[in-house]
Amino acid sequence: MRVDVLTIFPEYFSEIFEFGIIRRAKLAEIVEINIHDIREYAMGKHNMVDDRPFGGGDGMVLKPEPLFAAIENLTGASLRDAYPMGTRVVMLTPQGKPLKQAVAGELATEAEHLVLICGRYEGVDERVNEALVTDEISIGDYVLSGGEPAAAVLIDALVRLLPGALGSDTSARNDSFSDGLLDCPHYTRPADFRGMKVPEVLLNGNHAEIEKWRSIKALEKTRVARGDLLTGENGDM
């Protein structure tokens, strides 16, 4: 998968992808991540990327010209209907659909090329959304200073789902939310720590009993911590 990130603060990403799973995936050429400064596509001697909103109001709005130029350069097309197959252009915005495991799974499975737009200020000129954006995604019902943290979260969620990115083929399938439930509790050595003992079922070597215990505990944990996942109130069931 190829990921291109458009931002006015490219330095934000200077080291964030140089650790752990994402670094290993890059080295294994499972994912290619490129960071692009939107200002490089701005017009005029001052490289302006923002301007005041029509109609008045607070703040500034990212201009359409640099983003159209950047996306046309990265995708070879200036309209989303003409993008090559497997190309998705994502706007990171609090107005987008929530980032759920299913959304990450869809992008990891269907997209070969992702272009992520990191919004700033009061937002992005709506013509960018209308003509270029295929997906608007939010990582939560709150407002960030910009889309950079959201882009990092989305990339992390996607990369771990790419084939070969994790050490085990079953790791991603057993993550929280993959089956609509939270993950079960996990334990490691020592079996007895300050009087707190690991459940006996995990020590007996009976894998059928262990899987049954894990399923029960995952359901219990979900019911207590995220009952909305069981009732469908989060809109993802």
- pLDDT tens per residue across span 179-218: 789 999 999 999 999 999 999 999 999 999 999 999 999 9
Q: Look up the pTM and report it.
A: 0.88
Mean predicted lDDT score pLDDT of the chain:
93
- pLDDT tens per residue across span 69-78: 999 999 999 8
CA–CA distance, 80 with 67 (Å, rounded to integer) = 13
Give pLDDT, residue 232: 75
Give pLDDT, residue 50: 95
DSSP 167-212: SSTTTGGGSTTTTSSPPPP---S-SEETTEEPPGGGGS--HHHHHH
Residue 150 has pLDDT above 80, yes or no: yes
Please pick, among 37, 40, 72, 122, the residue that the annotation labels catalytic.
Answer: 122
- Active-site annotation holds for 192: no
CATH 3.50.30.30 holds for 2-159:
no
CA–CA distance, 22 with 93 (Å, rounded to integer) = 23
Q: Report the CATH number of the 176-231 domain.
A: 1.10.1270.20
Please pick, among 10, 94, 149, 185, the residue that the annotation labels catalytic.
Answer: 94
Pairing of strands 196-197, 192-193: antiparallel
More confident residue, 57 or 209: 209
- pLDDT tens per residue across span 164-173: 999 766 666 6
Pairing of strands 50-51, 61-62: antiparallel
Tell me the H-state helices in 8-52: 20-27
Q: Give ranges for CATH 1.10.1270.20 in the chain.
A: 176-231
Give pLDDT, residue 45: 79
Q: What is the mean pLDDT of residues 217-232?
A: 93
- Active-site annotation holds for 160: yes
Q: How confident is the model at residue 237 (pLDDT cuts 50, 70, 90)?
A: very low
Q: Give ranges for CATH 3.40.1280.10 in the chain.
A: 2-159
- pLDDT tens per residue across span 6-55: 999 999 999 999 999 999 999 999 999 999 999 999 987 788 999 999 99
CA–CA distance, 6 with 204 (Å, rounded to integer) = 52
Percent of the chain residues past pLDDT 90, beyond the cut? 85
Please pick, among 50, 64, 148, 160, the residue that the annotation labels catalytic.
Answer: 160
Please pick, among 65, 72, 175, 236, the residue that the annotation labels catalytic.
Answer: 175
- Active-site annotation holds for 122: yes
Q: Do residues 80 and 131 touch, judged by C-beta distance below 8 A? A: yes
Give pLDDT, residue 234: 63
Residue 158 has pLDDT above 90, yes or no: yes
Residue 100 has pLDDT above 80, yes or no: yes
